[in-house]
Amino acid sequence: MTFAEPILSVLRHFGWWDLLDVLIVAVLIYEILRMVRGTRAVQMALGAGLIVLVFYLSRRSDLETLNWLIRNMVGYLVFALIVLFQADIRRALAQVGRTPFGGYFARTKRTEETIEEIVVAAGLLSAQRVGGIVAIERSIGLRNYIEGGIPLDATVTYDLLVTIFRPSAPLHDGAVIIQGERIAAAACFLPLTVNPQVSKDYGTRHRAAIGLTEETDAVTVIVSEETGRISLALDGGIESGLTGDTLGQRLRELLAPGRRARESGELSQQTYQ
């Protein structure tokens, strides 16, 4: 028997129902991964995987005491996870209950509203010469930076953003991070870029925005305190001198559900001039 014969045998009996079965499982795995991305559940899943690995190793190595301990702990661990993550589980079940198309259109509407609020806030901050920096999470989670700031979990509104960045406000230092169309945290400190090609005209806010986009795929909106100039950072590059209309257009291109962000080659060419 050759190596290919078992594979050919499986393919001969592979029908439409088998294909549907595989597709359903793939979609379920994708949705679960998308829901837990950037949350505490990722670390919990890694911990659970490690426990499972130790369990099977203890069985194969005849480590009876360790095996008995893990077997007796599993029930309590499951109960503890349900208690600790009841809010996340409830939110996940609610998301599963939504229709795919209804969820898509609702997400599109929320994204459009979020963009409008950011554009209005940037315009007001620019007119008042108040500095601000707003980082918007995309595929790569910003949990590490969120945990370093002040958690808010608030609806994105222009008046809240403007209030946060007022010089007299206690949260005006640092960045606001938007995660899933909500303000996850404020007063977040971002990594500064160390790229020597960055213009010396850029201050700490712009360098922090560039630094974050060098490490993640986040989109960052910056308002200069000195000039009121609105800028957008992406993939280690920065586009300056934006108006409200051009900022809104760029954010729609980058954040619209189901659409890929354009390559930032043009943006990178303008970055350090």
Query: How many CB atoms sit inside 10 A of residue 51's CB?
Result: 13
Structure tokens at 160: 């809240």
Structure tokens at 149: 């700031």
Q: Where are the alpha helices (DSSP H) in 148-225?
A: 158-164, 204-215
Spatial distance between the Cα atoms of 122 and 40, rounded to a whole number of angstroms: 31
CB 241 within 8 A of CB 165: no
Q: Distance of CA 22 to CAs 15, 27, 34, 157, 261, Å?
A: 11, 9, 18, 42, 29
Spatial distance between the Cα atoms of 81 and 74, rounded to a whole number of angstroms: 11
pLDDT of residue 3: 53
Spatial distance between the Cα atoms of 40 and 36, rounded to a whole number of angstroms: 8
CB 178 within 8 A of CB 137: yes
Structure tokens at 208: 């922090």
pLDDT digits (tens, 9 = 90+) for 50-92: 888 888 888 888 788 888 888 888 777 777 777 766 666 666 6
CB 236 within 8 A of CB 268: yes
CB 177 within 8 A of CB 184: yes
pLDDT of residue 144: 85
List the Cα angle 233/235/236 in 5-degree steps.
70
Confidence band for 268, pLDDT divided at 50, 70 and 90: very low
SS3 221: strand
Spatial distance between the Cα atoms of 184 and 146, rounded to a whole number of angstroms: 7
Sorted by where each starts, the structural domains of the chain and their CATH numbers stand as 4-97 (no CATH), 101-270 (3.40.1700.10)
pLDDT of residue 271: 47
The side-by-side arrangement of strands in the sheet containing 132-136 is 150-155, 182-188, 175-179, 132-136, 219-223, 230-234, 237-242
DSSP 142: -
Mean pLDDT value across residues 199-220:
89
Structure tokens at 74: 């599993």
pLDDT digits (tens, 9 = 90+) for 236-263: 889 988 998 999 999 988 887 554 444 4
What is the torsional sign of CA 182, 180, 229, 212? positive
| Amino acid letter, 107 | R
Percent of the chain with pLDDT over 90: 29
Which of 55, 247, 56 minimizes the C-alpha distance to 134? 247
Confidence band for 207, pLDDT divided at 50, 70 and 90: very high
- Residues paired with 178 in a beta bridge: 136, 183
The whole-chain average pLDDT of the chain stands at: 80
